Each structure stands twice: as C-alpha cells, then as structure tokens.
Amino acid sequence: MALSDLTKLESKLYIWLCKSDFENVPWSTSKAAKAFNVKQDEIYDALSALTKKIPNDIQIYYENGSIRISADEQ
C-alpha cells in the first residue's frame, strides 16, 4: 500500500509521527486525540491501520514503561 491509501486522519497522524520524537518522548493517545480533535478510539484505529497499510514505515514498541513510536517518511 501507499500513502495515497491512507485516510485523512491516518495521513495527518503519520506526518505528525514522522515529525515528532516519540522514541525519546513517551506516546500519549489522549494528547494525540486532543491534538486531532478526535476520540481516543479513532487514534487507536488510525495507528492500527498505519501498521497494516505501511508496516515498513512505522514501528510501535514498549520501552521503559511507555509506548514508543518511530515513523519514517517515504
């Protein structure tokens, strides 16, 4: 799949993830939901979709008690 296959929210979230440092700064779903003015479930769904649609460009992992996310721009 390509970036053109992403929904509007998925695309915005992906770009935000690429520009942010969620490897060193712990991820917060509630802050992301607030930033995008959506419900937390929508953020969870968008993250899940990103790992399926562009699995080689996003990595989500758990480290030091927090979720970390790394995303590379295509």
For residue 1, what pLDDT is reported?
61
* Distance, CA of 59 to CA of 47 (rounded, Å): 10
For residue 47, what pLDDT is reported?
96
Q: How far is CA 53 from CA 7, 24, 31, 44, 65, in A?
A: 11, 25, 23, 14, 27
In whole numbers, what is the pLDDT of the chain averaged over residues?
93
- Bigger pLDDT: 57 vs 2: 57
Determine phi and psi for 58, rounding to 5 degrees.
-145, 140
Residue 8 in this model has a pLDDT that exceeds 70: yes
Q: Which two tokens stand for residue 33?
A: 């939901």
Domains identified in the chain, total number: 1
Instruction: Show the domain range for 22.
Output: 3-71
Share of the chain above pLDDT 70, in %: 96
CATH number of the domain residue 65 falls in = 1.10.10.10
Write the secondary structure of 19-52 as one string of H (helix), E (strand) and C (coil). HCCCCCCCCCHHHHHHHHCCCHHHHHHHHHHHHH
Supply the pTM of this predicted model.
Answer: 0.89
